Amino acid sequence: MRRRLFLSAERLIAEHGFELVSSRDITSDASANIAAINYYYGSKLALLVDIFRARAAELNGERKALLKAALAQQAPRIDDILRALIEPAILWHDPERQTALRYLNRARGEGPPEMQAILQNDVGHLARFVDAIESVCPALPREEIVWKLHFSLGVLHHNSAADYRRLENLSGGACDPGDRERLLERTLAFISAGFLA
């Protein structure tokens, strides 16, 4: 039941937003008693924060493993480090992970203050990338690295859970966002060029 509540809340909020989804909506979708959220999580807010923490930890865990592998290479390049940052979010393409990405993106823009505080203050996972980039680009000032990482994350957040209909319409169908490996390579090329400019 706990997992059903988790998945129902995540999906409903990914689709409709934080303000429009009630506890009753979640329990109804999960085929649960109205008191189930309080029983398993303590409150609706605790459930929502738990989803956020769990999915962020999952995403950042994959990034950390990829970064460790990149830095273990004999001569790591900035592309290797940036790939570790962006690959998980772009390749999370199965339905459950796409829902998780939409949930995380909504949390950035409209999540409750408790989530906003985590986003603003829990930056250790990003500091690892700043350190790694600094190690392979020693001539690039740390302040510049932080700015460029900030802009790169904006590109990544937009691409990881974007609605690509506009892109398809603009390109007359020539651009295929369904090819996630190619999307990863294009995004990596764009972000790397920004870092090296």
pLDDT, residue 167, reads 83
Confirm whether 22 is domain-assigned.
no
Spans of the chain, pLDDT less than 50: none
The C-alpha angle 175, 178, 183, rounded to 5 degrees, equals 70
Chain centre to alpha carbon of residue 2: 23
Within a domain: 123: yes
Contacts of 54 (CB under 8 A, 6+ apart): 6
49 inside domain: no
Structural domain tally of the chain?
1
| CATH, residue 106 | 1.10.357.10
Q: Is residue 191 part of a domain?
A: yes
Position 158 in a domain: yes
Enclosing domain of residue 122:
55-196
- Say if 15 falls within a structural domain: no
Three-state helix/strand/coil letters over the chain: CHHHHHHHHHHHHHHHCCCCCCHHHHHHHCCCCCCHHHHHHCCHHHHHHHHHHHHHHHHHHHHHHHHHHHHCCCCCCHHHHHHHHHHHHHHCCCHHHHHHHHHHHHHHHHCCHHHHHHHHHCCHHHHHHHHHHHHHCCCCCHHHHHHHHHHHHHHHHHHHCCCCHHHHHHCCCCCCCCCHHHHHHHHHHHHHHHHHC
**pLDDT tens-digit readout, 40-62:** 999 999 999 999 999 999 999 99
* Residue 158 confidence (pLDDT): 79
Is residue 39 a part of any domain in this protein? no
Q: Note whether residue 150 is domain-resident.
A: yes
